Amino acid sequence: MQAKLILASVIATGVLAGCADREIMLPGERLGVREVLQDPVNAVAATPENATVAASIPATVNNAAWAQSHVSPSTRIGNAALSTNLTPVWSTSIGQGDKRRARIITDPVVADGRIFTVDSAGRVSATSTNGEALWSYSLVPLRDDASQALAGGVAHDNGRLYVTSGFGTLTALDAATGQEIWTQRLQATATGAPTVFGGLVYLVAGDSTAWAIEADDGRVRWQSDGLGDVGNVAGAAPPAVNNTHVVFSFGSGAVQGAFRQGGLRLWSADIVGARKGFAIALVDDITGYPVIDGNTVYAGNHSGSLVALNVNSGERLWTAQQGAMDPVWPAGNSVYFVSDLNELVRLDATTGEQIWAVDLPGYEPVRRPQRRRDSAFANHGPILAGGRLIVASSDGFLRSFDPASGELISQTEIRGGATTRPVVANGTLYVVSTNGVLHAYR
């Protein structure tokens, strides 16, 4: 008992002595443990204030065609002529609209006085510029069903329409009649639009294999393998091409540059990063398709990263902590895009710094107390036409924005809501709605 009292006395004395010592305060800035361990790549920076900065945009051009995706310099219409006040001209059905397990994922293209579309059942259609149906062609094999695969994409070149499909084919059609010229089997799904340049058709199949195919006869020029993934969105990126290079993207989040003629791989870059706190950020697919502008390639993923790369070497020039849901639109000193936060964003093309960001439609209003959110809206674009940025949304409106300030200029109703990006030719804007209707505005 006496020993216990002595031990307690010693402990108490030590405690009192410790309390008497002055605590040493180390100099320097104090940071929380979470801040120190935060991944700097995914750290959330303070949102900059919007600024109005003069936009260097090209002069308007009265283009007769919008033949392919705008990802390549040779096919991009920098600023198509378009009236400020858009009004509906005509509407016509192109076939089956969006279904639960089937979506229209093909942007229309315009060439030779025809608008070419693909519905959710894999039917290619040609429509005249006054809304008259001209011909149609089914991409579905005779022994298969349309519900078994998604449709693909289209590109027009030299009187031919090149069409991919989820049934693993690339088909060349006569653009005037719809007659099949040749079909090449790709051994994997091909839901992204092809790109045609210099006598070759470039595409990605299975989100993992790049192809270069002879436009004349469908023979394979070369192939290059990448890495696929299972957590991808519907549709693949059309390759971006210039005189020397072709840039592909794969389901793994990799972007690859190669010589376009022989397919020799030059560089590969992985676009990584996940926006914390968002379940959709687990999808790392390249939704901001690679876009070539001069010596720069812009590409973004679904989960919070947009990068600028040197097209010759793949060197990273800058990284912005913004995902891109559609390919960017480069114009002069800026790049514009729809972000993964449902914002229309303008970045400085040289530094990647944000100039402004404005809200776009996000989620439908909550209708039932037990659900936090109802379905989300999709925002397609932007494109630059008539000196303004245009975004087509599934909430049922075409919206126009000022490139300098991001201010909303006007909006026009789309019955059924948009399911494709808009395109412009001969002063007319075309967009497909979710119910499978092609709308023309002028």
Containing domain of residue 297, as a range?
49-441
The reported pLDDT for the residue numbered 228 is 65
Residue 321 burial (CB count, 10 A): 17
* CA-only gyration radius of the chain, Å: 26
The reported pLDDT for the residue numbered 120 is 94
- Any domain includes 216: yes
The reported pLDDT for the residue numbered 206 is 83
The reported pLDDT for the residue numbered 213 is 97
Encoded tokens for 29? 């800035």
Q: Give the pTM.
A: 0.87
Cα distance between residue 193 and residue 215, in whole Å: 15
Instruction: Tell me the CA distances in angstroms from 384 to 17, 58, 261, 299, 413, one per residue in order.
Output: 75, 10, 31, 18, 19
The reported pLDDT for the residue numbered 373 is 55
- Any domain includes 43: no
Residue segments in the chain with a per-residue pLDDT below the cut of 50: 1-8, 10-12, 15-18, 33-44
The reported pLDDT for the residue numbered 226 is 80
Pairing mode of beta strands 329-331, 316-320: unpaired
Q: What is the CATH number of the domain that holds 322?
A: 2.130.10.10
Number of domains in the chain: 1
- Any domain includes 107: yes
Cα distance between residue 209 and residue 205, in whole Å: 5
Cα distance between residue 99 and residue 435, in whole Å: 9
- Any domain includes 33: no
Which residue blocks in 226-298 are alpha helix, DSSP H? none
Encoded tokens for 178? 């719809």
* Structural contact between residues 432 and 392, judged by C-beta atoms closer than 8 angstroms: no
* H helix or E strand, kind and range, residue 3: helix 2-20
- Any domain includes 305: yes
- Any domain includes 286: yes
- Any domain includes 161: yes
Cα distance between residue 38 and residue 314, in whole Å: 27
- Any domain includes 127: yes
